[in-house]
């Protein structure tokens, strides 16, 4: 899996680190990143620090993750966005479903 992920020490936060391109080629890999191992995490963080390109399928993947996990996860965060990615998220009004930092 080229998407890295990491759990907090208490196991309550899952962070997924997305690479340079977040597009349709990552659908299966992204889904596996948050469903592969059942845990009791209550917060999920998508780290977009390295992401330079994001297409509409990436937005769909984020929404699908939110829909899939909303019954057990109370916080959804997107962090460390580059300006061009942040602009896409703002235009798509993702701040309504995700905390964006």
Across the range 21-37, mean pLDDT stands at: 93
pLDDT digits (tens, 9 = 90+) for 33-78: 999 877 789 999 999 999 999 999 999 999 999 999 999 999 999 9
Under 8 Å between Cβ of 81 and 51:
yes
Q: Which two tokens stand for residue 21?
A: 């391109």
Residue with tokens 């592969």: 36
% of residues, the chain, pLDDT over 70 = 98
Could you tell me the pTM of the whole model? 0.93
Q: What is the pLDDT of residue 4?
A: 94
% of residues, the chain, pLDDT over 90 = 90
DSSP 35-95: HSS-----EEEEE-TT--EE-HHHHHHHHHHHHHHTTT--EEEEES--HHHHHHHHHTTGG
CATH of 4-100, one of 3.40.1080.10, 3.30.750.24, 3.40.50.2300, 3.40.50.261: 3.30.750.24
Domain boundaries, the chain: 4-100
Helix (H) or strand (E) holding 33: helix 27-35
């Amino acid at each position: 899996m080229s998407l890295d992920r990491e759990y907090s020490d208490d196991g309550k936060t899952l962070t997924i680190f997305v690479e340079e391109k977040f597009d349709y080629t990552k659908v299966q890999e992204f889904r596996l990143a948050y469903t592969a191992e059942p845990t009791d995490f209550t917060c999920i963080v998508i780290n977009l620090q390295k992401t330079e390109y994001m297409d509409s399928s990436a937005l769909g993947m984020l929404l699908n993750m939110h829909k899939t996990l909303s019954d057990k996860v109370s916080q959804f965060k997107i962090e460390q966005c580059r300006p061009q990615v942040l602009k896409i998220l703002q235009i798509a009004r993702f701040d309504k479903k995700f905390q964006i930092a």
